[in-house]
Amino acid sequence: MSAEPPSTSVAVADGQSKGARKPKYSRFSQQELHAWQPILTPSWAISIFTVIGLIFIPVGLASLFASESVVEVPFRYDEECLPPNHKNDAVAYIKDDTANKTCNKKLTVKSKMTAPVYVYYQLDNFYQNHRRYVKSRDDKQLRNKASENDVGKCSPEDYTPNEMGHKPIVPCGLIAWSMFNDTYKLSSNNKELVINKKNIAWKSDQDGKFGSDVYPKNFQAGGLRGGAKLNESIPLSEQEDLIVWMRTAALPTFRKLYGKIETDIDDNAEVMLVIENNYNTYEFGARKSIVLSTTAWVGGRNHFLGMAYILIGGISLLLAVGFLLLYVMQPRPLGDPSYLSWNRNPGCLR
């Protein structure tokens, strides 16, 4: 009595297992769906570059004209506001709390500035993007009163000195500690130009990053004062100067919004400027300026956007003209098999 060889059953089982692993047929899984596969013919390429040029150049010109319509009056005052007898010891002057820091200057506005007129302070050579500086804050502490003891990322501005009780600082960190504290007052024709400091911060920052139940504590209480002081009776969500400053800049030259003037300033008007020159930029070679500016639909004065559109549009038109000349002077049928490599060099098939 002979036994049946097991090879047949193994083959059947193996076939069943292979069939079980076979995916269910679908046109999607087998990549058989209809697809648009455009062929970039010379006429299509010329048309696309032409359309890009005809769109980008007018948009660039409109952006450039809008930027030119912005009236901007900058005034650098860090050197102008140094008393003559302190030109050579600016650091000692700015650190002297008893020295008179009030500075009176006159600006001439050559073109009419239509409200709202934005007042900015500008700092040059100030690196807010330094890694240690950017990390020197605690977002949980800024948002939540229960986290006011979370100061782990804020060294060296985390606690008050031991002789003052070693208490947590709110808000902690170098960013808040170095807050800008120069102040400006403007007037024209013996009338004060009121600077509105409401709604200068991002609404999302006020609502999401700074708590309405978080109040400053022990701020600028150490021996080394950095910048502005904060009102301890106002929550952080309402201290918009702080919120504006805490949004760190990416470049060493930056502007931050100080306030808005809600009245027009006539052309050729003389604006009297009273500056409290408190902020110490002399120690590290930074520069300070005040900037009065209007806006257009593209924002403030910035020629880069318009010039970039014009440049891209011009390059596109040049490419369109170049391809058109090449197509007219040296045409060839699309898909001509004579241009295939084995037709141009039959010897390569041997």
> Of 109, 70, 125, which Cα lies nearest the Cα of 273?
109
How many domains are contained in the chain?
2
> Do residues 171 and 271 share a domain?
yes
Claim to verify: residue 80 and residue 64 sit in the same structural domain: no
Q: Which residues, 6+ apart, have CB-to-CB distance to 56 below 8 Å? A: 309, 310, 312, 313, 316
Q: Are 224 and 307 found together in one domain?
A: no
Q: What percent of the chain has pLDDT over 90?
A: 65
287 shares a domain with 148: yes
Domain shared by 320 and 222, yes or no: no
- Both 223 and 97 in one domain: the answer is yes
- In the predicted model, what is the mean pLDDT of residues 59-68? 95
Q: Is 345 within the bounds of a domain?
A: no
Q: Per residue in 272-306, pLDDT tens?
A: 999 999 999 999 999 999 999 999 998 889 899 99
Q: Is residue 11 part of a domain?
A: no
Query: d(Cα 210, Cα 346) in Å, to the nearest integer?
Result: 75
> Domain ends where: 269, 293, 317?
293
264 pLDDT higher than 70: yes
Q: Are 186 and 213 part of one and the same domain?
A: yes
pTM: 0.80
Split at pLDDT 50, 70, 90, the class of 1 is very low
Check whether residue 52 and residue 95 sit in a common domain. Answer: no
Do 108 and 232 share a domain, yes or no? yes
Tokens 């504290």, residue located: 181
Is 26 domain-assigned? no
pLDDT in tens, 115-126: 999 999 999 999
Q: Which token pair is 137?
A: 């804050």
284 and 156 in contact (C-beta within 8 Å)?
Answer: no
Residues 289 and 303 grouped into a single domain = no
| pLDDT value of residue 111 | 92
The answer to whether residue 4 sits within a structural domain is: no
List pLDDT tens digits, range 126-170. Answer: 999 999 999 999 999 999 998 888 888 888 888 888 778 888 999
Burial of 225 (0-12, 13-18, 19+ CB in 10 A): middle
Give a yes or no: residue 13 inside a domain: no
- Give 11-63 pLDDT, tens digit per residue: 555 555 555 677 788 888 888 888 877 778 888 899 999 999 999 999 999 99
Average pLDDT, the chain: 88
Residue 334 has pLDDT above 90, yes or no: no
Does residue 334 lie in a domain region?
no
64 has pLDDT over 60: yes
- Based on the fold, state whether residues 230 and 273 are members of the same structural domain: yes
Tell me: pLDDT of 3 over 60: no
| Residue numbers of the domain that contains 162 | 72-293
Interval 203-245: pLDDT, tens: 999 999 999 999 999 998 876 778 899 999 999 999 999 999 9
339 occurs within a structural domain: no
| 49 Cα distance to chain centroid | 31
Regarding whether 83 and 46 lie in a shared domain, the answer is: no
